[in-house]
Structure 1
Amino acid sequence: MVIMVRNKSVFVVLLFSLFLSFGLLCSAKDFPGRRSEDDPRQRYEDCQRRCQSETRGQTEQDKCEDRCERQFKEEQQRDGDDPQRRYQDCRQHCQQEERRLRPQCEQSCQEQYERQQQQQPDKRFKECQHRCQRQEQGPERKQQCVKECREQYQEDPWKGERENKWREEEEEESDEGEQQQRNNPYYFHRRSFQERFREEHGNFRVLQRFAAKHHLLRGINEFRIAILEANPNTFVLPHHCDAEKIYVVTNGRGTITFVTHENKESYNVAPGVVVRIPAGSTVYLANQDNREKLTIAVLHRPVNNPGQFQKFFPAGQENPQSYLRIFSREILEAVFNTRSEQLDELFGGRQSHRRQQGQGMFRKASQEQIRALSQEATSPRGKGSEGYAFNLLSQTPRYSNQNGRFYEACPRNFQQQLQEVDSSVVAFEINKGSIFVPHYNSKATFVVLVTDGNGHVEMVCPHLSRQSSHWSSREEEEQEEQEEQEDERRSGQYKRVRAQLSTGDIFVVPAGHPVTFVASQNKNLGLLGFGLYNGQDNKRIFVAGKTNNVRQWDRQAKELAFGVESRLVDEVFNNNPQESYFVSGQSRRGFDERRGSNNPLSSFLDFARLF
């Protein structure tokens, strides 16, 4: 009797355990963090386990695992082609960005999602076409199947054939796009800056040397670009530099003061203000704003070693260190005519006061101190024959219409401010959905910084082949010589260099290279540029718009060059008489119809293929 009761108890416990296990399994798919049956990775692992437990022999197991691998890759590919899934993954990636960069990142995700949505009908047509070739028997049935696919997914039955060449090129660029962006010698991602000072109240970061990115940029390797950011109510320690510098304020309000060997200059600055800091001048800054950061783009032209510069701080403790403390105590006591104790107090500082003020290049300041620093400062306006500063945005725009504005200051007009650095400064804003038309510079190489918004750039380059342009350091000199010889042999052959642009990115435009900039559909694109070696009187030549260069050619030259009647050349190049410099991306008519594209802009390089 006792044994029966015990057996019944065990049976009840086992039965209860089975029900409990079944309930947990049923609810597992809803348990947070557990992978569901829809997870390709989970299915792949299950498939691998079945291969190990159900197959006989190593050969059969290997074949089974290969099938699991192929199935997993196919599912990954399908997931990669799903715009909604890629959009969600992109937005999750944006959460890892800094808070101020997330809006631009999410905007890029949205634009990519919209482009993929526009491409879906064509992809579905190709998938349908592939199924016809795989499933149908006989040429007639396959032909009928393809016709039904075309009727279902393409309004124009000949659209696919007419676009075939264009699509192949675009798909090739899309597959290589991310890799090309990284290998693009003219494009610098915002993370290409190296931080020299990163502190609680600000940071100072310097772009890598140009020639370190690619030998094609060695001609501008003596210049360096940097970004200085100071938090609200922050003071930047006095320092001098072994380089001629140009400051351009891109955000915030502040005061820049510097002392030359003759006098002191002090300026209240705002976005658009350009200040030249002579080499060796001691400069200090203050952010006047209570909420916004003060952001300054800095162009350096070193005077000692090309491409290398250093800052020297007369006041500081550890990082930065005061350079005065490096001199021997005997020298300091003699030149300052003071006691050793006073020197220790001056350069060592009281510990409590030092903790209160903090250490580093950036120091928190009171509003009273900030106001006092700005009392004697002047506000730069337009062009001035004297002084070291001017407001670029107070000038009359060089080019302007309803689609954008372009401001430019050249060394010949701003000699005291720009001639020593041999650089011009430009700032331009492209309205959303608009284009700064294709053009090239006769002598200056422009380093362009994205200050706001996003978009993309396209440039013609004769130096890059379709293969990778990277090599090991051991082969660098030999590879450079071979590429230079190859450039000469294939003169007249070009490659399109394209890069997506977001705030903080940099793009280099060498002299003579045709280029165009395009703003996204959702936000204006703001850019700042330094035109290096612009003391040589650079000219900007436009190849589109109502002032384009081709309009001035002789009739016979047009016919001989393009191989068509000059009338057709005139119709194309004179087809936009109302707009110049900046045009709307929506103004194109026939060209989009040729390509069947819904994008606001297709490459201006495609224009040449029409002839």
Structure 2
Amino acid sequence: MEMSKCFSLVLFFSLVLSFGLLCSAADNPWGRSEAERDPWRRYKECKRRCQLDTRGEREQGECEDRCERHFSREQEEKGRWRRHDSNPEDPQRRFEECQEWCQQQGERQQPQCQQECRREFQEQQPQSQRQLQECQQRCQQEEQRPEKKQQCVRQCRQQFEQQPNKREEEEEEEWEGRRQSHNPYYFPRGRFAQARFREDNGNFWVLQKFSQKHHLLKGINEYRIALIEANPNTFVLPHHCDAEKIYVVTKGRGTLTFLTHKKKESFNLVPGVVIRVPAGSTVYLVNQDNNEKLTIAVLHRPVNNPGQFEEFFPAGKENPQSYYRPFSREILEAVFNTRSEQLDRLFHGRQRQSQQGMFRRASQEQIRSLSQGATTPKEKEEDFAFNLLAQKPKFSNQNGKFFEACPREFELLQDMDTAVAGFEINQGSIFVPHYNSKSTFVVLVTEGNGYVEMVCPHLSRQSSQGEEEEEEEEEEEETRSGEYKRVRVRLSAGDVFIVPAGHPVTYVASKNKQLRFIAFGLYNQNNTRIFIAGENNMVKQMDSAAKELAFGVPSKLVDEIFSNNPQESYFVSRQRQHRGSEESRGRPVGSILDFARLF
């Protein structure tokens, strides 16, 4: 009996202690696993987790506030200095405040306090900078002659200042990639894509449904993006889809053939060729090149289930399977007037390894045969195809080019209600900020690297509690207006970025590489592209009184800022010099949000 009472008391106190620890862990976003680490590092990791694991700016701000409260509390408990309004990520400012706090201590405590400030300041420096300081200290201690000390210090500086810490850069890039993976508009290459066929001779990737990434994209959920990659001298098996399709060649050369109920169409493929394939048409293609991969972006608009399509193969046995095989022998013998032995050989026989998969190696003779009679699409629409990049650019100058084919100009795009666009932004240049009145653009990076900046309303938190709560959150968001968030993403080949209608956006090429895209403009009928910078920007058309009332400054100043060189109306160089005083010359064009201080 006594043993039972003792056991009950132990169990009771254990539960109380466990409950207290759980409550503490729930309130502390750092978690117990970080308890032994340095408080400042824990503070930075806490803020990173807030950016990675929270949805919406308001929730992220609340999480970061909790991080700061815990950080301040720990500093107070340890009797150290306490930061006030300074930036906690500015080590120099924190070091100065720490020194000021030490001066308020007694004479005995000051040396130890200042030593602790220096130690913490050094720990917050990048690894390369800490190594530089240690190297210089060794020079002072080990070298006796002044000229030798100076030479040693110079060697340290050359060694560590000119070689940035690659490990820290890699960690920062990894963290940036994890953070951007939560961006509802960004689909990095290799993520969020399903490999329906991944083989030695090629791949067929399908981007996940847009609404699976975020409910903000459910308006375009009936469309799907896919990518076909065929290795040199590779044949892609005949198939049809329950979807309307637009093919855009981004790399390589080959031949595509499709069969309608009336005739056969065959086209030579080069970068920029656009082919419209009606739903149900059987398609096959071949890569003619001996060295280069053939890459094609495909936009699908399913006809059965929005956002969901299937491929159907007439030929194949196991991988893929022929759609003839599920039919009964009785039916197949009757419709083909053929013995079952012959049918078994065609549809049920053993398949060699080289005859498996969606992608098959082809001989030079077979490739020549498949390419005979194919036409080469030109800039004008011909039946089902045209070459986008052979057209005259809609916008161009020495900094870039923009090509576009719209449904109102190309009849073959009308059923899909989709435009096709191509960008070529020269290195170190910007496609000036603009927005689309009705169309949402799905942008695929085909070459180079750079970044995109987009302005959008505060992102709603993605609810995991069901549709009713999600609708309540959307209604709450609708009550707020006039608040925006900058979405900035680094882009490289294979990445996909979504630009909703009405959202101002700009694209920037890196300083050492040209940046190229192809893009699909969804729901493009009667869409208008409206520029908010450059020679033809919207603000220049405002009345003078409207400019003064809206911006709160004289209209002359507004006109001066929004005027531009006509030769750089649509593409500008990041090194373009401002008009005005000599002090401003040579400054690169800043963020598209830099002019926000006018508002």
2:595: which partner in 1?
Answer: 607
Report if aligned partners of 2:576, 2:589 keep a CA contact under 8 Å in 1.
no
Secondary structure at the counterpart of residue 280 of structure 2: coil
Secondary structure at the counterpart of residue 132 of structure 1: helix
2:534: which partner in 1?
Answer: 545
- Closer, same or farther in 2 for the Cα pair 1:460/1:192, shift >3 Å? same
Of 388-397 and 182-191, the range deviating more from structure 2: 182-191
- Closer, same or farther in 2 for the Cα pair 1:571/1:298, shift >3 Å? same
Equivalent of 1:423, from 418, 421, 430?
Answer: 418
Equivalent of 2:389, from 366, 386, 393?
Answer: 393
- Closer, same or farther in 2 for the Cα pair 1:333/1:320, shift >3 Å? same
- 1:519 & 1:404 partners in 2: Cα distance? 10
Does residue 380 in structure 1 map to residue 380 in structure 2? no
Q: CA deviation at 1:132?
A: 3.0
Equivalent of 1:505, from 488, 495, 503?
Answer: 495
Does residue 557 in structure 1 map to residue 546 in structure 2? yes
- 1:347 & 1:274 partners in 2: Cα distance? 34
Equivalent of 1:488, from 461, 478, 482?
Answer: 478
- 1:356 & 1:175 partners in 2: Cα distance? 39
- 1:505 & 1:437 partners in 2: Cα distance? 21
Q: CA deviation at 1:131?
A: 4.8
- 1:477 & 1:230 partners in 2: Cα distance? 45
2:184: which partner in 1?
Answer: 185
Secondary structure at the counterpart of residue 314 of structure 1: coil
Kindly provide the CA deviation profile for residues 563-610 of structure 1, in whole angstroms up to 9, marking residues without a partner as x.
11110000000144441111111125489999x9x9955321121114
- Closer, same or farther in 2 for the Cα pair 1:396/1:285, shift >3 Å? same
Q: CA deviation at 1:336?
A: 0.6
Q: Give the alignment of 1:197-346 within 5 angstroms.
A: 197-346=197-346
- 1:544 & 1:277 partners in 2: Cα distance? 37
- 1:334 & 1:366 partners in 2: Cα distance? 35
- 2:199 & 2:175 partners in 1: Cα distance? 38
2:60: which partner in 1?
Answer: none
User: Which one-letter code corresponds to 1:437 in the other structure?
Assistant: V
Secondary structure at the counterpart of residue 126 of structure 1: helix
- 1:324 & 1:175 partners in 2: Cα distance? 48
Report if aligned partners of 1:204, 1:229 keep a CA contact under 8 Å in 2.
yes
1:453: which partner in 2?
Answer: 448
- Closer, same or farther in 2 for the Cα pair 1:233/1:277, shift >3 Å? same
Report if aligned partners of 1:183, 1:470 keep a CA contact under 8 Å in 2.
no
- 1:365 & 1:206 partners in 2: Cα distance? 25
User: Which one-letter code corresponds to 1:543 in the other structure?
Assistant: I
2:523: which partner in 1?
Answer: 533
Secondary structure at the counterpart of residue 258 of structure 1: strand
Q: CA deviation at 1:70?
A: 5.2
Kindly provide the CA deviation profile for residues 151-175 of structure 1, in whole angstroms up to 9, marking residues without a partner as x.
xxxxxxxxxxxxxxxxxxxxxx999
- Closer, same or farther in 2 for the Cα pair 1:215/1:402, shift >3 Å? same
Does residue 412 in structure 1 map to residue 408 in structure 2? yes
1:571: which partner in 2?
Answer: 560
Across the two proteins, how many residue pairs are aligned to each other?
A: 461
Report if aligned partners of 1:409, 1:426 keep a CA contact under 8 Å in 2.
yes
- 2:588 & 2:222 partners in 1: Cα distance? 38
Structure 1, unpaired ranges of 5+? 1-65, 80-121, 142-148, 150-172
- 1:582 & 1:548 partners in 2: Cα distance? 13
- 1:132 & 1:404 partners in 2: Cα distance? 52
User: Which one-letter code corresponds to 2:207 in the other structure?
Assistant: L
- Closer, same or farther in 2 for the Cα pair 1:176/1:246, shift >3 Å? same
User: Which one-letter code corresponds to 2:594 in the other structure?
Assistant: D
Which structure dedicates a bigger proportion of its chain to helix?
A: 1
User: Which one-letter code corresponds to 2:283 in the other structure?
Assistant: V
TM-score relative to the length of structure 1: 0.70
User: Which one-letter code corresponds to 1:358 in the other structure?
Assistant: Q
Q: Give the alignment of 1:121-200 within 5 angstroms.
A: 125-126=92-93, 128-137=95-104, 180-190=179-189, 191-200=191-200
- 1:78 & 1:222 partners in 2: Cα distance? 41
Kindly provide the CA deviation profile for residues 126-157 of structure 1, in whole angstroms up to 9, marking residues without a partner as x.
3653453354459xx9xxxxxxx9xxxxxxxx
- 1:440 & 1:593 partners in 2: Cα distance? 33
Kindly provide the CA deviation profile for residues 357-399 of structure 1, in whole angstroms up to 9, marking residues without a partner as x.
3301111111111111001111111113x31111100000010
Secondary structure at the counterpart of residue 248 of structure 1: strand
Q: CA deviation at 1:486?
A: 2.5
- Closer, same or farther in 2 for the Cα pair 1:295/1:125, shift >3 Å? same
- 1:442 & 1:178 partners in 2: Cα distance? 31
- 2:250 & 2:443 partners in 1: Cα distance? 13
Structure 2, unpaired ranges of 5+? 1-31, 46-88, 111-120, 122-171
Q: CA deviation at 1:476?
A: 3.9
Q: CA deviation at 1:450?
A: 0.8
Q: Give the alignment of 1:11-50 within 5 angstroms.
A: none
Q: Give the alignment of 1:581-596 within 5 angstroms.
A: 581-587=570-576, 589=578
